[in-house]
Chains A and B, each alone.
Chain A
Amino acid sequence: MNTAKLLSVWTVPAFLVLVLVAGKARRVPVFDEFTAGAGDGLRTCVKVLPALVALMTAVSMLRASGLMEMLSSAVEPVSRFLGFPSEVVPLALLRPVSGSGSLAMLENIYASFGADSLIGRIASVLQSSTETTFYTIAVYYGSIGVKKTRHTLISSSCGDLTGIILSALTVRLLLY
């Protein structure tokens, strides 16, 4: 725990020192380069904004529609077969589409079942080892105007599914 905490506190400052010292050693005009890079960042941000608006609107509509709740009761038999607790199914469904939504749901699970219970642990592992898949795909491809994503979605969805199955499996095998 202490090593982990130390690492998370020191990562960014240590990196900044490294970058600045190396930059000065190589006589890089650090301020000029920083502002040039920041300008690039701003332009990219403007470029991804339309894709972000399109996706976030669709996803928040989906969340408001109650489809997630319908789906999670539909997949319950499958999840039971895989040894995946049905209480975590809504989180597994929400995780690929919404980062803030899934975090709120994780908190909900902690409050109802305890953060260090079996359910709480599986939910924690799931949240930590998967990403907001759809958001990532939309933003990355949206930023360069790629429309045909070919086998991106099928590959990443299989990865997500593996993550869901493994989260329950590894918690049961390694922590009990």
Chain B
Amino acid sequence: MLNWIWAVIMLLAIISGAVNGRLEQVTNAFLGGGGQAITLALTLGGAMCVWGGIMRIADKGGLTVFFARTMTPLMRLLFPGLEPTGAACRAILMNMAANFLGLGNAATPLGIKAMNELSRANPDPDTASGHMITFVVLNTASIQLLPTTVATLRLQYGVSEPFNILPAVWLTSIGSAVVAVALSRLLNISPKKSGRHIVKVSI
């Protein structure tokens, strides 16, 4: 749970800062962290507006429904019980496509839209639904066709074929995504009562 993780991270930072004699840097980080987040939000905010606008046109123009129809088998497999061409699935697919193409700035706003759509069907707004967990885990696993940022950096460091790592990247990201998604679905099977038990074990 975020309430616990957050407190533990802060406390760990202060304790290890004291142990390493770096308390001053920790304090500075505390004072500057908010500003950093605002800067990031402003950068991200521009992308969110632009992609939010474009995706709305794509949605109204029927493009996302068309895409969702072609991807129905995949969505049935990953999100059973979710309407394959519904608003939630369309947002999820657009997020996955943006991630796949390496458009990180587009993927985040689309992902948040998907979470909003999933939230509408969630009976308990405080608690993550099974679909939400699968979706978030799919995002943390990151399946990317072309790692452009890393490739650009490698090119700068004199690698003549910066994409020579591609097969390893694909295999690794698919492997980690399969493990994460399978686990998210497996742990979701247990009924609600034991679901509460899992919360404690997971944190």
Residues of A within 8 A of B (CB): 1, 4, 7-8, 11-12, 16, 18-20, 22-23, 25-26, 28, 30, 33-42, 44-45, 48-49, 52-67, 69-70, 96, 103, 106-107, 110-111, 114-116, 120-121, 124-131, 133-134, 136-156, 158-160, 162-163, 166-167, 170-171, 174-175
Partner of A60, one of B36, B101, B111, B119: B36
A-B contacts at CB below 8 angstroms, number:
368
Question: CB distance B153 to A166 under 8 Å?
Answer: no
Question: CB distance B147 to A148 under 8 Å?
Answer: no
Please give the number of chain B residues whose Cβ is less than 8 angstroms from any Cβ of chain A in the complex.
Answer: 113
Partner of A37, one of B25, B54, B132: B54
In the complex with contacts A57-B29, A153-B203, A167-B172 CB distance below 8 A:
yes
Point out the residues of chain A lying under 8 angstroms from B3, CB to CB. Answer: 147
In this complex, what residue of B is CB-closest to A3?
A: B163
Question: CB distance A38 to B49 under 8 Å?
Answer: yes
A-B contact pairs, 14 of them (CB 8 A): A16-B54, A38-B50, A42-B49, A45-B41, A53-B34, A57-B34, A64-B28, A66-B22, A116-B159, A125-B165, A125-B168, A151-B133, A159-B181, A163-B173
Whole-angstrom distance between the Cβ of B112 and the nearest chain A Cβ: 5
